[in-house]
Amino acid sequence: MLLAMFMSLFAAMALQPPSLVVALDVHLLRQLAAKHNVTTIVVFGDSSVDPGNNNFLNTDLKGNFPPYGGNFVNHKSTGRLCDGLLAPDFIAEAMGHPPIPAFLDPTLTPADLPRGASFASAGSGYDDLTANISNVWSFSTQATYFLHYKIHLNKLVGPLESAKMINNAIFLMSMGSNDFLQNYLVDFTRQKQFTVEQYIDFLSSRMLDDAKMLHRLGARRLVVVGVPPMGCMPLIKYLKGQKTCVDQLNQIAFSFNSKIIKNLELLQSKFGLKTIYVDAYSTIQEAIKTPRKFGFLEASKGCCGTGTYEYGETCKDMNVCKDPTKYIFWDAVHPTQRMYQIIVKKAIASISEEFLV
């Protein structure tokens, strides 16, 4: 019955204007999440999904100062390396929840726990060495703090209810860029051990191990965001001295993403995990090639400072563009809130169809 309802609604959506389609997607997601008791979102990864855990770590990779957060509630610089919301925040919003909190946020209360938390740490990756280079949380550390979260949730709602919440939760992983940009391509440790192809395979095995660990910890629904077209980041083009995207880096991202997809298929067939792959690569690349189709006017540089090299500390207190919604990139590395919103819009229908029907 529910599947029939979804299919008829999906067919009707094809006849609706885009804005209404989005509203229908969000309404359906909220409806199905409530029906299937999906109240919790737990997040692991890097700066693409870190809402402020790094604020409390001894690292330079932070965004808890202006102009970051200019479009967030009350223009607050939360630590999100963005002008506003990140992708998990939009998923939470679609489910009727407030933005995903950082687990280390001191304002987090027991009442917030059932909605979930982010354990992500900007600068992290699938390779633990990547996190060690920047003195941030590795995935294994993030998973350890998730265990602390489970203990608190058990105390709040009891072990049986807690287990149900975790089994029904949406687990989200988003990382991989730093493994190449802040590790393999600039640090000689992994270059001495692996060719690029071998390192991609190494990361793929680590990603699979991470997903298996989440499964052991209770994950039954897993969303994995692919690596974006790294060669199109303004900073990378600036460092390479070229105006067009760096094809070599994009090929690396594309190759690694193909491994992620195969891993998710394996997790589905062997472990029964429900999985979704979010294709950030194709969505961002399409926006760069045809920006006006998405309402963008600037696709080659960021909104902060010159838009060519500033991110994190170098973006601090810099002047910004007048309208970030017209920009794909907020700083020289990270997308704008608007770009994240577009990526999530494409994912919401998949979450409804694959997870909740």
| Confidence check: pLDDT of 5 > 80 | no
Catalytic residue among 121, 210, 334, 352: 334
**Distance, CA of 207 to CA of 224 (rounded, Å):** 10
Look at residue 3 and tell me if it is in a domain: no
Q: Is 128 a catalytic residue?
A: no
Read off the CATH number of the domain in which 90 is found: 3.40.50
pLDDT at 314: 97
At 144-153, the pLDDT tens digits run 999 999 999 9
83: left (phi over 0), alpha (psi -120 to 50) or beta: alpha
Of residues 79 and 26, the one with the higher pLDDT is: 79
Q: Rounded mean pLDDT of 186-193?
A: 94
Look at residue 347 and tell me if it is in a domain: yes
Look at residue 245 and tell me if it is in a domain: yes
Catalytic residue among 25, 50, 179, 331: 331
pLDDT at 38: 83
| Confidence check: pLDDT of 328 > 80 | yes
Identify each DSSP E strand in 144-297 by its residue range. Answer: 170-174, 221-225, 274-278
Nearest residue to 134 via CA among 37, 59, 209, 196: 59
Catalytic residue among 47, 48, 77, 138: 47
Number of domains in the chain: 1
pLDDT tier at 25, thresholds 50, 70, 90:
low
Nearest residue to 230 via CA among 329, 145, 324, 148: 329
H-only helix segments in 15-158: 18-35, 87-94, 128-134, 139-157
Average pLDDT, the chain: 91
Look at residue 312 and tell me if it is in a domain: no
Q: Can you state the angle between helices 337-350 and 18-35, rounded to 10 degrees?
A: 60
Q: Is 210 a catalytic residue?
A: no
Q: Is 50 a catalytic residue?
A: no
pLDDT tier at 15, thresholds 50, 70, 90:
very low
Q: Rounded mean pLDDT of 30-50?
A: 89
Range(s) of the domain holding residue 165 = 26-296+340-355
29-38, 119-128, 243-252, 277-286: which range is least confident on average?
Answer: 29-38
pLDDT at 26: 73
Look at residue 174 and tell me if it is in a domain: yes
Look at residue 114 and tell me if it is in a domain: yes
pLDDT at 17: 37
Please give the span between the terminal C-alpha atoms of the chain, in angstroms, as a whole number. Answer: 10
